[in-house]
Structure 1
Amino acid sequence: MTAANGRDRLVADYIPAGHRTEKTALICHGFMNRKETMGAYAAMFHQMDYNVLIPDARAHGQSTGKLIGYGWPERQDQRLWIRRIIRHNGKNSKIVMFGVSMGGATTMMTSGLNLPPQVKCFIEDCGYSSVLNELSYEAGARYHLPAFVTVQFETAMSLYNRVLNGFYLRQASSTEALHHNYRPMLFIHGSRDDFVPTRMVYQNYHATRGPRELWIVPGAKHASSYQTKPHQYQQHVKAFVNRYVR
């Protein structure tokens, strides 16, 4: 499929359920990962009798492109994948969108778009509140840059990104996108996440306008909630989707 920018070619794996079903999970991977790294999550949904679609984001895996948009331009690609699912499986499709880390942010950013009614709910795992907030955190917490240097860094990065990617970093906000979401959203975050700090999930949780649930996974670090509590993870996801996908 051609990306929303009209240039890049996107590749995805589609795994049909064992029997005909209208339910499909659209799964988004994280930064510098690829569709194959989402196998455990794909298996989880497949065991719940969902079709599964896992795209490689732009500039990842088999998809083409040189620029990574941290979820912001990619949200437009996800809307195209949603339309593709509906064309393939019919107007009675029931779609769950799920993502981890950058994929979680992509999921939240997509939720703010005008989407077809076939999209029933979203699940995000450890996505950041905004690209700018995440970069600022990394600059300060990991590299111990003083505040004035961090501000200069953010400004330079934002201008550079505007030239290359077509948007200022401040625009790429999960929190702002969630202000336009009225569909159900499950938020998952590890209590010991020191890459996307756990506090960000509370900003996102309070921003969404639809039904919402929050699960802080005790002891889990970044993108490791499923590995930390696999049985409970499956239970939370299954209970959530069963409420909204019928």
Structure 2
Amino acid sequence: MGLAPLIGGGIGFVLGTVGYASWRWVHPVRLPWPEKVEGEGVAFPSLDGTILRGLWMGQGQGPTLLLCHGYYRSLTEPYHLGIALHRQGYRVFLFDFRACGESKGYFSTLGAREVLDVLAATREAIRRGGGPVAVLGISMGAAAAIMAAAREPRIRAVVADSAYADLAGLLAYRVQKGVPVPLLRPLARASIRLGEIFAAFRATEVRPVDYLAHISPRAIFLIYGERDSYISSEQREEMIQKAQNPKELWIAPGSDHAMARLDHPQEYLERVLSFLGRWLTP
């Protein structure tokens, strides 16, 4: 056997791996809802017409909270937090982003079009429960919440748990940290670019840090894990510095990315409730 078939097979394997990785990072595996859920199942269109699914916990007289899950997740991620907040008297609306959970859509864009989903969910929450409304987002959900709040003045407060400053910088950091062999990093970058082509967006479009100043004079609560392995300390500090007053900050001791609510459940709930009590008033 000559070398040509081996070389060709190796090239084919590499290209196949790059293609699969690029497809998978913008086409998440869908996570199902719990078998039994509290609340009313609802469907509503995003601003571009994509049909989204959610849960409305509308009993109660308190303000309305919109909860936004992270990348490769579904509304099951903040579901138990939503129940806890609902039991404190808040009306709670959870939903699946496009291409996640039970919502329609084929591609995740890590914030580029998810901001349309947050805006649509905000309007649906106001239609059902009236105002005022606050948004709590986790990771990608936090990034989308920040960008949506800058455009939607009816969002009165934002809780941003583990929001990245800019997606392109995050991806570059993940390649540098997550691909230990330098020779393989160009392949990782190629898979990222091909994924952008599949999903028709650019990571450079997703820069929540540029929207922070437009949230003020409304309040924002930034939450980060002390040991976040996904977001660089530089991105975290940039977000903290660019956020305008009124702002609050909690660095959760010992927590990794988006894990504060699981590592410190009672303190997390108390801090969120305290923030909302100060800034989300009828």
Identify the TM-score tier after normalising by the shorter chain: 0.7 to 0.9
Q: CA RMSD in A?
A: 2.2
Aligned to 2:267: 232
How far residue 11 of structure 1 moved from its aligned partner, in angstroms, is 0.5
Query: What amino acid sits opposite 1:116 in the alignment?
Result: P
Q: Trace 1:167-178 onto structure 2 (pairs within 5 A).
A: 167-178=201-212
| 123-132 vs 101-110, which moves further | 101-110
Q: Is the 8 A contact 2:74 2:101 kept in 1?
A: yes
Segments of structure 1 that go 5 or more residues without pairing to the other structure are none
Aligned to 2:153: 116
> Could you report, residue by residue, the CA deviation over 1:194-245 in whole angstroms, capped at 9, with x for unpaired residues?
1223442221122223411111011111221112122221221111111111
Which of 16, 25, 35 is the equivalent residue of 2:65?
25
Which of 66, 69, 73 is the equivalent residue of 2:113?
73
Q: Trace 1:78-97 onto structure 2 (pairs within 5 A).
A: 78-90=118-130, 93-97=131-135
The residue matched to 1:112 in structure 2 has which SS?
Answer: helix
Query: What amino acid sits opposite 2:229 in the alignment?
Result: D
Aligned to 1:3: 46
Cα distance change of structure 1 residues 61 and 209 upon mapping to structure 2, 3 Å threshold: same
Question: Normalized against structure 1, the TM-score is what?
Answer: 0.87
Cα distance change of structure 1 residues 180 and 36 upon mapping to structure 2, 3 Å threshold: same
Cα distance change of structure 1 residues 47 and 198 upon mapping to structure 2, 3 Å threshold: farther
Aligned to 1:61: 101
Structure 1 segments, 4+ long, off by >4 Å, are 147-150, 152-156
Aligned to 2:56: 14
2:251 is aligned with 1:216: yes
Aligned to 1:243: 278
Q: Is the 8 A contact 1:190 1:221 kept in 2?
A: yes
Which of 112, 125, 128 is the equivalent residue of 2:161?
125
The residue matched to 1:214 in structure 2 has which SS?
Answer: strand
Cα distance change of structure 1 residues 145 and 9 upon mapping to structure 2, 3 Å threshold: farther
How many equivalent residue pairs?
237
2 CA distance for matches of 1:153 and 1:194?
18
Q: Is the 8 A contact 1:11 1:62 kept in 2?
A: yes
How far residue 157 of structure 1 moved from its aligned partner, in angstroms, is 3.5
1 CA distance for matches of 2:83 and 2:183?
44
Q: Is the 8 A contact 1:192 1:198 kept in 2?
A: no
1 CA distance for matches of 2:230 and 2:157?
26
Q: Which has the larger radius of gyration?
A: 2
Question: Normalized against structure 2, the TM-score is what?
Answer: 0.77
